[in-house]
Structure 1
Amino acid sequence: MTQRLYIDVHVVQTVPPANLNRDDQGNPKEAVYGGVRRSRVSSQAWKRASRRHFDAQAPESDRATRTKRITNELATRISLTTGLESEDAGRIAAALLAQLGLSQGKKAGDTAYLLFYGNAQLDAVAALVSERAADLAALDEKALTEAVRELPVAESFRTGHPVGVALFGRMVADIPKLNVDAAVQVAHALSTHETQLEFDYFTAVDDQNEQDETGAGMIGTIGFNSATLYRYATVGFAQLADNLGGDTEAALDALDRFVDSFALSVPTGYQNSFAHRTRPSLVAVVVRNDQPVNLVSAFEEPVVAEAGIQANSARRLAEEHITATEVWGDTPLYEAASHTFTTGEPRAKDTAETLTQAFGEPVAFSDLRTTLRARITTALEEQA
């Protein structure tokens, strides 16, 4: 069993006017922290953005899907591999999944909740009946249910997890055997400073009527704000390796993909209206063997704009890390950072120096990922 290793990922990122993650009123989510209102992006929003980012770079079979329509998805696979009509494939799919005891939704064929699974896992379930699908289709409902009762459907979902499920886990309240403990915790992204909700008042002209009528064909508003965000996530490497069947190399690959995708992904809310995609100004990783440490307390006192906010925010984060290691006696196994601040810029000089004191000389993001993998490999060898 891999001993405790936690990989903390700290990100400072500035986004322009945007509505990354809306609340029930359609406005950007917010939270009060340090006595002032902050911009907030929920952990779920950035988890999904990260998952979509690394899935886009993976083969279809290595991706994960979260849906209520698992019965229809399984039926489609059965139909494609066996040539059965969709109705017969649907009956077999329903019989196979019935043994899991999934609660049924209001719509026929849907489950009551979203189920997170790997595409390869569902392919494996479809393969269980590929050689006898025609015979199964000829059975009545009772006989069909009995014929597939002993097939290892649940086992197909308990092994061979894709990166998404291995990282973020799966919770099925009424079927504990399908649960997968998450290897990743993601904090809600929070602005390092106070923010104000603003509104974009927009009009749209009807192109067909602009010669005959004056005024707008449509009027509306969109809430937005702009913010320098602190983002944090932590990966429990032992849990990640366990979720991947004890495969250390697969866990190292999954960790690398997560760090890349967490750092570079952005939620897509209202992206066509705001084109808000930016890169982080700072990505820092810290490998620990005691416990994860969120450094959001660096911003409990909101950063005040002087010549911008992001440099002060990055410096605050570095100072908090230095303080934590000094006060609590923390000795991280590894720490490194990629950032955009240089000593050649007078306004960023103090920030760059403090970041170097906290995380060492800055490295390119690709090098950060490479050295992170090497350092964890070394730590695992030392543990062995």
Structure 2
Amino acid sequence: MFVDIHIIQNFAPSNLNRDDTNSPKDCEFGGYRRARISSQCIKRVVRSHRSFSQAVVHAGGDTGVRTKRIKSRLMDLFAKKYGKPEIVETEKVAETVIELLGLKLKDEEKTEYLLYLGENEAAQLARLAVDSWDALLAIEPEQDKKKKKGTGQESLKEFQEELKGIVGKRRKEARSYAADIALFGRMIADNKNMNVDAACQVAHAVSTNKVEMEMDYFTAVDDLLPGEETGSDMIGVVEFNSSCFYRYSNVNVSKLAENLGFNNDLTTAALLGYVEASVKSVPTGKQNSMAAQNPAGYARVIVRRDGFPWSLANAFQKPVRPSLDKSLEEASIDALERYFERLKAVYGTEGIVCDASFNLHRDDGGSLRKMLDALKACVAGEGS
């Protein structure tokens, strides 16, 4: 079962997602220049939105953190949760745990790359390490490490497998990952045991309209400038645009359930929290200077049984234009709905089991809450 999420959202002048030159990200689509928001940017604001985290925690799940500083996280748990005050000891045990997981420290404090780890996973790693504290402290340098035993397990290798089992795949039992890891996956090149196949695909958001980048020339005056002097003490330029975005993502509900240990309540909560956060979240780039806090004008969720998700991005191959009686957002919604009807005519609707939406521009356009309730009822009915 797949859930397609389609969102139309118009933004006032903004620079929501910047490239390496601080310019708004863009791309060419349908032969025209478009504004763009990267999928990475969208994932971050969604997984950090309180609608997602609250839904997951309320259902008994947890969320993850993405960090290179897992060493300091483990040391903090050792000290605050288990009362291990000696920094030399906590540091050695944390480094040993990281090595036994098959990871490497780039310097004394950070792993080579960002590690996506659930809070429950970190807590379990810390607990297992504390249970074998003395044995871990006794582990010699790398050349002698494999010879050491007495970890409370039959061998160091067995202890190492138990460590990896906390963050890895166990085929013999249901495995529950942090909800955002279950959705977006995890890839660790040095330890494939830690990899998690994502249940969610997120597209780069593209503008439905053709865009031209604009420049904001700004100056700043020194507040303590002597009265006899004039002029600015800072001059700069910021690029921006105003665009209406089409945002698309899909969730493989069966894969999400597998990644969450087949916990139906948690799966439903994670899915609904994800959809709500997708609608409500807004990228944070340059918001303090532009405040483009514009809610989505349209959202639609479509539940399919046939494993054939549809992106509707091609509805905007030809750029949408506003008219005297229709705004850019309204015209974009109309283009999306027309294209969706054509797809249904060609491919059929047999696989669609739920189609719910809200439209800000219609008096009877529904609401976000009604859309989420319809999605919840559909998923619950399919799972029963």
Once residues 291 and 27 of structure 2 are traced to their aligned partners in structure 1, the CA distance between those partners, rounded to angstroms, is 24
Specify every segment of 5 or more residues in structure 1 that has no aligned partner in the other structure, as ranges. Answer: 344-360
Could you say which residue in structure 2 is the equivalent of 1:139? 138
Partner of 2:271: helix, strand, or coil? helix
What is the CA-CA distance between 1:137 and the residue it aligns to? Answer: 7.2
Normalising by structure 2, we get a TM-score of 0.88
User: In 1, Cα distance between the equivalents of 2:61 and 2:79?
Assistant: 17
Match of 1:336?
356
SS in 1 for 2:124: helix
Name which structure has the greater RCO, CA cutoff 8 Å, separation 6+: 2
Name the aligned partner's letter for residue 361 of structure 2.
F
Q: Distance in 1 between matches of 2:313 and 2:61?
A: 37
1:219 & 1:56 partners in 2: Cα distance? Answer: 41
Matched, 1:311 2:321: no
| CA distance in structure 1 between the aligned counterparts of 2:13 and 2:212, rounded to whole angstroms | 11
Q: Which residue of 1 aligns with 2:79?
A: 79
Paired residue total: 358
2-side partners of 1:202 and 1:302: how far apart?
31
1:106-255 to 2 correspondence within 5 Å?
107-133=107-133, 135-136=134-135, 139=138, 141-142=140-141, 146=148, 149=156, 150-151=158-159, 152-158=162-168, 159-211=175-227, 213-255=229-271
CA contact (8 A) 2:92 2:137 kept: no
1:267-291 CA-partner distances (Å, limit 9, x unpaired):
1011111111111000100011221
Looking at structure 2, the residues matched to 212 and 364 of structure 1 have their Cα atoms a distance apart, in angstroms, of 59
Provide the C-alpha distance between the structure 2 equivalents of 1:319 and 1:374, rounded to a whole number of angstroms.
Answer: 27
DSSP 3-state at the match of 1:92: helix
Give 3-state SS (helix, strand or coil) of 2:12's partner: strand
What is the aligned partner in structure 2 of residue 43 from structure 1? 39
Percent of residue pairs identical: 35
Query: 1:302 matched to which residue of 2?
Result: 319
Contact 1:97/1:153 (8 A) holds in 2: no
310-319 or 124-133: which moved more? 124-133
Q: Equivalent residue of 1:66, what SS?
A: strand
Cα distance between partner residues in 2 of 1:61 and 1:215: 57
The one-character-per-residue Cα deviations of 1:328-375 (angstroms, maximum 9, x if unpaired) are 1133111011111126xxxxxxxxxxxxxxxxx742211211110111
Question: 1:37-61: CA deviations, max 9, x gaps?
Answer: 0000000000000011046536598
Distance 2:41 2:125 in 1: 30
Q: 1:56 to 1:271 in 2, by over 3 A?
A: farther
Report the Cα distance in structure 2 between the residues aligned to 1:178 and 1:198, rounded to whole angstroms.
Answer: 44
Preserved CA contact (<8 Å) 2:71 2:109: yes
Structure 2: gaps spanning 5 or more residues:
169-174
1:168-201 deviation per Cα after TM superposition (whole angstroms, max 9, x unaligned): 0101123111000001001000000100111111
- The Cα of 1:229 is off from its aligned counterpart by 0.4
How far apart, CA to CA, are the structure 2 residues paired with 1:42 and 1:81? 38
Runs of 4+ in 1 over 6 A off after TM superposition: none
